[in-house]
Amino acid sequence: MYAVIVCYSCGRLLLTKTDQKNRQCPHCGARLIVARTKHVAHAESAREASHLIRTMKQKGEASP
């Protein structure tokens, strides 16, 4: 399972696996603890999660 999270440093949307503990933001380089980030959506596949991120960006959600 995958999750869409928000970087707590730059506010950008990221894709991560739900069982992952840490994630580095590719936008600002911040090291994130996945459990402490805001989870905004969940998906069964990476493709579905990626589509969710694109949709959220078009709507202007969680942009810096």
Find out whether 3 and 18 touch, Cβ atoms under 8 Å: yes
Q: What is the pLDDT of residues 41-60, one digit of tens each?
A: 999 999 999 999 999 988 87
Tokens of 10: 């730059």
Q: CB-based contacts of 46: which residues, under 8 Å, 6+ apart?
A: 2, 15
Asked if pLDDT for residue 62 goes beyond 70, the answer is no
Question: pTM here?
Answer: 0.84
Domain residue limits, the chain? 2-59
